[in-house]
Structure 1
């Protein structure tokens, strides 16, 4: 596409970047209403990570846009902050559902754990972008297993359902 053609469809850089984020959100990010009963949402996170290799440029684009829009008056700041809030809620709700069903310890703060999960994902994403040969699928599966073990430690009758998304 020529620069003129691009400007016809996207008169500003901000509109172009929002369109690119729309595509990414449609494919992968927008939380889906799932009636979780246990820690299945962790499997969804592993599945997302396993899809990174299919579209590494989307992962890189999002990371770059996130860093470029950290300032208070950055053009995409509000959108990225809203996305963060939606993902945080998705993960915290997953933990709350697991607690309600008795498949996660009740002494875990869902909001703090959700922040921890997002921090892990951001760190793994950056590491993988720097070194694409990292076995992120294996790291993700091991991380999920450790999260399940930590969130279920001491529960009676817990049977871990540790499916492996990349096998």
Structure 2
């Protein structure tokens, strides 16, 4: 849907608080009332933008790992996928920082997302270790911190070798 795509781009460039529903409407050639017909509030629009990508992430990663047969390659492909759409990457980085404020409309979403991500990555790492793909103990929060940090560095400095840094980290845990 064009409204979601426009909102995603505007939120990623201007931040949630810097983009208005009127901006979204102008971007897609609708009136404000036209956008409000589909999304009664800015919070509803934000929730749908975030949920849309989140709903795709876990199944995509699991399928990619199964197809490639390698945890390492699946994590690398996750980064390649994210780099192919810097707008989405910027959206999540920007909004997760803004959402550290408990009053931000995306605060609860990111609390849940990080809680779920820690659980999923911890289980994924345990599976990779049981398969012999990872040779050292690694916890989910550390992997999330590495991935988030590398993405931030790449968004700030586009010539930063994100994949090279990721490969170095993966080398350190896969032996």
Same fold at TM > 0.5: yes
Asked if 2 retains the 8 angstrom alpha-carbon contact of 1:46 and 1:140, the reply is yes
Asked if 1 retains the 8 angstrom alpha-carbon contact of 2:133 and 2:174, the reply is no
Residue 71 of structure 1: how far off its partner (Å): 2.1
Q: 2:145 aligns with which of 99, 105, 119?
A: 119
Matching residue of 1:48: 78
Q: For structure 2, list consecutive stretches of 5 or more residues without a partner in the other structure.
A: 1-27
Distance 1:91 1:81 in 2: 15
Residue by residue over 1:65-103, the C-alpha shift from the partner in whole angstroms, topping out at 9 and shown as x without a partner, is 111111233322221111112211122112222444455
Quickly say closer, same or farther: Cα 1:85–1:19, change in 2 above 3 A: same
Distance 2:119 2:165 in 1: 24
Asked if 1 retains the 8 angstrom alpha-carbon contact of 2:99 and 2:106, the reply is yes
The 5-angstrom pairing of residues 28-43 of structure 1 reads: 28-29=57-58, 40-43=70-73
Distance 2:73 2:133 in 1: 15
Distance 2:56 2:128 in 1: 26
Asked if 2 retains the 8 angstrom alpha-carbon contact of 1:98 and 1:104, the reply is yes
Residue by residue over 1:39-65, the C-alpha shift from the partner in whole angstroms, topping out at 9 and shown as x without a partner, is 943432211111123211000111111
Distance 2:156 2:39 in 1: 30
In the superposition, the TM-score normalised over structure 1's length comes to 0.71
Residue by residue over 1:97-136, the C-alpha shift from the partner in whole angstroms, topping out at 9 and shown as x without a partner, is 2444455457x3x5xx211111111111111111122222
Q: Which has the higher contact order (CA 8 A, sep 6+)?
A: 1
Matching residue of 2:127: 97
Backbone CA RMSD of aligned residues: 2.7
Matching residue of 2:35: 6
Matching residue of 2:89: 59
SS at match of 2:47: helix
Distance 1:102 1:62 in 2: 32
Asked if 2 retains the 8 angstrom alpha-carbon contact of 1:71 and 1:77, the reply is yes
Quickly say closer, same or farther: Cα 1:28–1:94, change in 2 above 3 A: closer
